A and B are shown apart, each in its own frame.
Chain A
Amino acid sequence: KNQVEQSPQSLIILEGKNCTLQCNYTVSPFSNLRWYKQDTGRGPVSLTIMTFSENTKSNGRYTATLDADTKQSSLHITASQLSDSASYICVVRAGGYNKLIFGAGTRLAVHP
């Protein structure tokens, strides 16, 4: 069964600190993996997209890594800001399919 699991479920950090969110997937065949940021009451916004040949991709203070062998990805947020408070969702696209498989998300709260 195609699944995407994220950890932790929720996380609280202080402004300025770094954090890392984890994503494990069992999706086959693998096409690409995305990280989305979703503010409360809004639609998800794409942060990064990686195919199996890409190990790391950055978008400003966000850096995603992908290990296709262990089927793990991480999203590292550097120097967190209050505006980083949101849910971060890991999404995997299975090859040949047009639908995406979503994780439940990690809810991040950045406190001053």
Chain B
Amino acid sequence: DTGVSQDPRHKITKRGQNVTFRCDPISEHNRLYWYRQTLGQGPEFLTYFQNEAQLEKSRLLSDRFSAERPKGSFSTLEIQRTEQGDSAMYLCASSFSLDSSYNEQFFGPGTRLTVL
């Protein structure tokens, strides 16, 4: 399977715990995006990387959230001291920056986080 993969697919945690999600983009894609999606809503942008550089962060990305892409390949999203409001689907997408004006993003299956 050469698509975007995410791990784990589901995570249940207690409030106050830290969680970390991983995203493996399509291998030749240099851009990687993180989104959060709550029930009945479209995805909301969190942050994106071009290679290993984090170029933009949304104001939704509070101090408890941190994302890394150390070698320009896979990325991790960590949430510290989780709160019940963090419960959502976390989606990762990747794209190739030289893909004309389309810059199509391919999404992974998501990680569903439930904070009890």
* CB of A102 closer than 8 Å to a CB of B: yes
Chain B residues with CB below 8 A from A104, complex form? 40-42
The answer to whether A32 touches B107, judged by C-beta atoms less than 8 angstroms apart, is no
The chain B residue sitting closest to A90, CB to CB, is: B42
B45 to chain A, nearest CB (A): 4
Chain B residues closer than 8 Å to A42, beta-carbon distance: 109-110
Minimum CB–CB distance for A52 against chain B, Å: 10
Residues of chain A within 8 A (CB-CB) of B105 are: 100
Q: How many B residues face the partner with a CB closer than 8 A? A: 27
Contact B42 A89 (CB under 8 A): yes
Which candidate, B11-19, B61-69, B76-84, B96-104, is the interface stretch facing chain A?
A: B96-104
Q: Is the CB of B104 within 8 A of A43?
A: no
| A21-65 near B? 1/0 per residue, CB < 8 Å | 000000000011010100001111110010100000000000000
Question: By the criterion CB–CB under 8 Å, are B55 and A98 in contact?
Answer: yes
What are the 4 A-B residue pairs with the smallest beta carbon separation, nearest first?
A102-B42, A43-B107, A99-B45, A44-B107
> Which residues of A are interface residues toward B (Cβ below 8 A)?
4, 31-32, 34, 36, 41-46, 49, 51, 89, 91, 93, 98-100, 102-105, 107
B binding-site residues for A, Cβ under 8 Å: 4, 31, 33, 40-45, 48, 55-56, 58, 89, 91, 93, 101-110, 112
